[in-house]
Each structure stands twice: as C-alpha cells, then as structure tokens.
C-alpha cells in the first residue's frame, strides 16, 4: 500500500529573485528558503557522518571476530582481551543501530519540499500538462517601474477591492474573475499600501490588508515552487488555508505577524526620513548669504553677543565687540554676516531693493 501521509505536510519556501528597489521587501519568505536549505545540508552531513562511522565500525567488528577465532584456534593468551574488546564493539554496534533507526524516523517525519518531492516513487504516464508559469521578462528598472505604474493605473480599483475582502471564499472568487491580479505587481502594491496605512496610523486597516498581502504571497510562492501559473494555484491555496490544519495555519499566522512587524518598522523609518527631509529643507531656506544657518550660528555665540542680537541693540553690539578679543570678534561677526544675522550697510541694501525709507533701526541692522 502506498503511504500518502507525507503529502499532508509539504514544506515550501521562496527562491531569491531580485525585486524592484522601490518595493519594500516584496520577497517575504526568503528566510524560510535559507533555513530549509541549511536544514537539508545539516541532515545530509549528519547522515554522511553516521554512515561513515557505521562502515568503520563494521570493519573493526569483523576484524575483531576474525582475530578472536584465530586466537581460540591457536590457544594464545589474548583470547580474554579479544573477547572483552569484541563485547565493547558489539555494544557500540547496538548503539549505532538505534541511531540508524532514529535517523530513519526523523527522515520520515521531515516535510517534503520542492527539492525532494520530485523523487521517483513509482513510474506512471502523465497525459495532462501543467499550466506553464509565465516567463520572467528581462526588463530594466525603468521599464519595471513603468509597467507597475501602468498596472496600478489600470487595476487600482480592483486592487483596493481585493485588499478589503475578508472571507477566503470571496477572495478566491474575486481573483478567479480578475486573473490579471494574481501577480507580483499586486503583492508589491499591497505592501506599499500597508506601509502608507501604517504611516497614516490606520493600524487596524493595515493589519487587514497585510492579511490579503500574505495570501497573495503564498499563492505566488506555491506557483514558484511548483513552476505553475499562479492562477492555477488559487484552489490549492484556498482549500489548504480553509481546512486550517494546525501546522499550516500556525505557519501562515507567523508569516503574517512578522510581515506586520516589518511594515511597522519600515513605516516608522519613513516617517523619520520625512521629518529629517522637512527639517533639512527648512534649514536650507534659513541659510544666509555665506551658506551658514543663522540658528546654528546664534547658538554658538557668546552669551553677551546673544543678548545684543536678542535685543537688536546696535550700540550694545558695538560696545560688546569693542571689549572682545579682536580675532574672536572678527570670527563671530564674519559668521553672523555669512548666516544673515548681521546685514552690513542695511540702508544701502534697502535702497537697492527700492525701499523708500532712509532711517536705520536695530531691526534693519540686526536680524535674529
């Protein structure tokens, strides 16, 4: 009788396709792929070491038996020592057999994956052809970006509709009637939407759209591993997730949890980046004629100079400068001019700008 139990648990993981730089981590399962490869390598190494050890031990055991037979025939005094050594080797042989059984059990419990599922169990003729997976296009980054913009423009209403669906059955029916959405561009759009929702502090809506994103990622992942058209994997995925086997459901929920954590982290980073950019833009607007920031320059002035600019008192400023060391006074006043805190010959500047006023006030001479 053929044992079909292994088909209950098929381990799938992501291959390592490069993604568009504007998309924030669209390959959500790469770490699972790497973990699976490492586990397979560890099992292979463990089995090789075990087989090598077993071969060496079998050789030693046979040699010990042969030596014992020869010693008993010749009646030498080594018989007892050889018997003792043989007994130890037989005990070790028993331990190796138990280890062999444990490794076989471990191998049986290991879920199949794309690398092991194709091993021949028995031969059969296949007539039906599987739906071919669309070939990857060799596009430049600009072409990929243009393609995605076109895709979003043509399908944004349907993309948002899918992102808002709640029932698995509704999602399956909608994707079947809108097959063009079963693609990587949809997953990328949903990822960006999740980030924007989190930045807008719409946390519950982000969590809901994140669930639909992981559904799409699972469908695309299954298509990659089986080399199928993603649209042909809709029934397989939704049937599996609706059955809700504990291990499969736990894996899905874990992927969803980690995805939402990455979204929150990325959204926080983008908010910080936006704040920094706004502050930098504001700082650039403040720069004086010499390229210095008046706020930064003012903070570095000695307290007595700060009081002059705060009060906009020219007489006090001139008096303070006269009392200072000449080099220090030149250094600070040059920085004040370069930052726009001090405007030399304010009357002339105003006349050139067409100002009719000829009076001079502290506010015209000193700006804070």
Look up the CATH number of the domain holding residue 187: 1.20.58.610
Give the domain-ending residue among 83, 106, 129.
Answer: 106
Same domain, 53 and 153: no
The whole-number pLDDT of residue 11 equals: 52
Confidence of residue 128 (pLDDT cuts 50, 70, 90): low
Quote the radius of gyration of the chain (alpha carbons, Å): 38
User: Which of 178 and 36 is assigned the larger pLDDT?
Assistant: 178
pLDDT at 253 over 80: yes
3-state secondary structure of 54: helix
Residues 256 and 226 placed together within one structural domain of the fold: yes
- Residues 94 and 182 occupy one common structural domain: no
Position 16 pLDDT exceeds 60: no
Convert the pLDDT of each residue in 55-90 to its tens digit: 887 888 788 787 777 777 777 777 778 788 878 888
Percentage of the chain lying above the pLDDT 70 cut: 75
CA–CA dist 105, 110 (Å, integer): 9
Q: Is residue 127 part of a domain?
A: no
Residue 266 makes CB contacts below 8 A (sequence gap 6+) with: 24, 25, 195
Residue 217 included in any domain: yes
Q: Are 226 and 240 in contact (CB under 8 A)?
A: no
If asked whether residues 254 and 166 sit together in one domain, one would say yes
pLDDT beyond 80 at 252: yes
156 and 273 part of one domain = yes
Q: pLDDT of 210-235, one tens digit each?
A: 999 999 999 999 898 888 899 999 99
Write phi, then psi, for 342 (nearest 5 degrees). -120, 125
On whether residue 121 sits in a domain, the answer given is no
Query: Would you place residue 127 in the very low, low, confident or very high pLDDT band (cuts 50, 70, 90)?
Result: very low
Predicted pLDDT of residue 28: 47
Is there a single domain that holds both residue 318 and residue 237? no
Q: How far apart are CA 43 and CA 34, in angstroms?
A: 14
Q: Is 136 within the bounds of a domain?
A: no
Mean pLDDT of 306-311: 82
What's the structural domain count of the chain? 3
| Domain match, 101 and 200 both | no
**Co-location of 279 and 298 in the same domain:** no
User: 20 CB contacts (<8 Å, ≥6 apart)?
Assistant: 26, 141, 144, 145, 148, 188
**Does some domain include residue 237?**
yes
Question: Is residue 17 predicted with pLDDT exceeding 50?
Answer: no
**pTM assigned to the model:** 0.49
Structural domain containing residue 94? 12-106
* 38-47, 101-110, 118-127, 319-328: least confident range: 118-127
23 lies in the same domain as 150 = no
Residue 266: the pLDDT is 93
Whether residue 184 is found in the same domain as residue 90: no
pLDDT at 189: 94
Summary mean pLDDT of the chain:
77
Residues 230 and 339 in one domain: no
Choose among 282, 290, 296: nearest CA to 343.
290
What pLDDT shows up at residue 167?
A: 93
Q: Answer whether 191's CB lies under 8 Å from 213's CB.
A: yes
pLDDT band, residue 9 (cuts 50/70/90):
low
152 and 258, same domain (yes or no): yes
**Mean pLDDT throughout 34-54?**
78
pLDDT of residue 201: 93
Spatial CB neighbours of 340, under 8 Å, sequence gap ≥ 6: 287, 288, 289, 294, 367
Other C-beta atoms within 10 Å of 103: how many?
Answer: 15
């Amino acid at each position: 009788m053929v044992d079909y139990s292994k088909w209950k648990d098929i381990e799938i993981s992501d291959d390592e396709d490069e993604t568009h730089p504007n998309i924030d981590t669209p390959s959500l399962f790469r770490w699972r792929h790497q973990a699976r490869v490492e586990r397979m390598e560890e099992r292979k190494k463990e089995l090789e070491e075990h087989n090598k050890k077993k071969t060496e031990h079998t050789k030693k055991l046979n040699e010990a038996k042969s030596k014992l037979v020869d010693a008993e025939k010749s009646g030498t005094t080594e018989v007892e020592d050889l018997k003792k050594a043989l007994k130890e080797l037989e005990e070790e042989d028993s331990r190796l057999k138990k280890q062999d059984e444990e490794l076989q059990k471990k191998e049986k419990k290991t879920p199949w994956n794309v690398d092991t599922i194709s091993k021949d169990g028995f031969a059969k003729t296949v007539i039906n052809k599987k739906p071919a997976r669309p070939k990857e296009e060799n596009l430049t980054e600009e072409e990929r970006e243009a393609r995605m913009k076109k895709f979003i423009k043509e399908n944004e209403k349907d993309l948002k509709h899918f992102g808002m669906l709640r029932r698995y059955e509704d999602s399956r029916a909608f994707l079947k009637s809108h097959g063009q959405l079963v693609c990587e561009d949809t997953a990328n759009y949903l990822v960006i939407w999740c980030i924007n929702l989190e930045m807008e502090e719409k946390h519950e809506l982000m969590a809901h759209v994140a669930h639909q994103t992981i559904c799409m990622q699972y469908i695309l992942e299954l298509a990659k591993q089986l080399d199928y058209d993603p649209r042909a994997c809709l029934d397989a995925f939704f049937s599996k997730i609706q059955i809700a086997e504990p291990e499969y459901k736990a894996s899905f929920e874990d992927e969803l949890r980690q995805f939402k954590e990455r979204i929150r982290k990325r959204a926080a980073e983008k908010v910080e980046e936006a704040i920094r950019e706004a502050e930098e833009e504001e700082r650039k607007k403040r720069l004086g004629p010499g390229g210095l920031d008046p706020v930064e320059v003012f903070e570095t002035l000695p307290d007595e100079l700060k009081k002059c600019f705060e009060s906009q008192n020219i007489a006090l400023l001139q008096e303070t400068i006269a009392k200072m060391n000449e080099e220090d006074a030149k250094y600070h006043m040059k920085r004040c001019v370069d930052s726009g805190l001090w405007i030399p010959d304010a009357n002339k500047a105003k006349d050139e700008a067409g100002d009719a006023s000829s009076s001079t006030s502290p506010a015209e001479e000193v700006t804070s």
